[in-house]
Chains A and B, each alone.
Chain A
Amino acid sequence: DQQVKQNSPSLSVQEGRISILNCDYTNSMFDYFLWYKKYPAEGPTFLISISSIKDKNEDGRFTVFLNKSAKHLSLHIVPSQPGDSAVYFCAASVGKSNFNKFYFGSGTKLNVKP
């Protein structure tokens, strides 16, 4: 039973435009969310996080939005760059500890076209 879902396996965006990646979760106990980025032949790397006490967190071109009532979060990349082309995973956990179990989505492959 997947508790974290990314329903779009792929997304294609023109360079300079906004990329919006979506993630839904089912467990209302989740209170800490992360986005990871993965290039081919490499492990995922941390991108941005948000805890449930916030509804938005921004870091440069990356912004994560959290809608707790809808159990939905999204990652916005503005402006998108070709180097952003990668697979993006969202992950959720109960409690803000790196030693907690994280549940991952299946990933969305973003292609930013020059």
Chain B
Amino acid sequence: GAVVSQHPSRVICKSGTSVKIECRSLDFQATTMFWYRQFPKKSLMLMATSNEGSKATYEQGVEKDKFLINHASLTLSTLTVTSAHPEDSSFYICSAPNQGSRNYGYTFGSGTRLTVV
């Protein structure tokens, strides 16, 4: 089946630094990638939708200059958290729409736990 590989799984960084999270579709072409974040005991909240070859679409309230999304190829989408602060500490997860009429929903990456100290 479809696999989305997400790296790193866990990262700790200092305040003010930037962190890049990568999601790769391993055996299919992901023209679209959804980026979610989840705070403890909260829902997965959609941050942005990236489309290969075009600008990402950000949800209301998400700072696009802070959360840089690049979808440079059909198999790679990246999220860069710039000038990270402790309040950016969260669980970030990507997902790509499943292909085929009988494959419902998304294929998710395994997520990245970001801790900013």
Q: Which residues of A contact B (CB under 8 A)?
A: 2, 4, 9, 34, 36, 41-46, 49, 89, 91, 97-99, 101-107
Q: Is B13 an interface residue (CB 8 A)?
A: no
Decide if A43 touches B108 in the complex (CB within 8 Å).
yes
18 CB-based A-B contacts, threshold 8 Å: A41-B110, A41-B111, A42-B110, A43-B4, A45-B108, A46-B103, A46-B105, A49-B105, A98-B98, A98-B99, A98-B103, A98-B105, A99-B32, A101-B34, A101-B46, A102-B46, A104-B45, A105-B43
Q: Which residues of B contact A (CB under 8 A)?
A: 4, 6, 9, 32, 34, 36, 41-46, 49, 93, 95, 97-99, 103-111
| Bound form: Cα–Cα A42–B113 in Å | 12
Q: Is the interface of B mostly helix, strand, loop or mixed?
A: strand
- A107 CB → nearest B CB, Å: 8
Kindly report which residue of chain A lies nearest to residue B42, judged by CB atoms. A106
Q: Is the interface of A mostly helix, strand, loop or mixed?
A: loop
- B113 CB → nearest A CB, Å: 9
Q: Which of B32, B93, B105 contacts A102 (CB 8 A)?
A: B105
Decide if A34 touches B105 in the complex (CB within 8 Å).
yes
Decide if A89 touches B97 in the complex (CB within 8 Å).
no
Across-interface contacts of B98 in A (CB, < 8 A): 46, 98
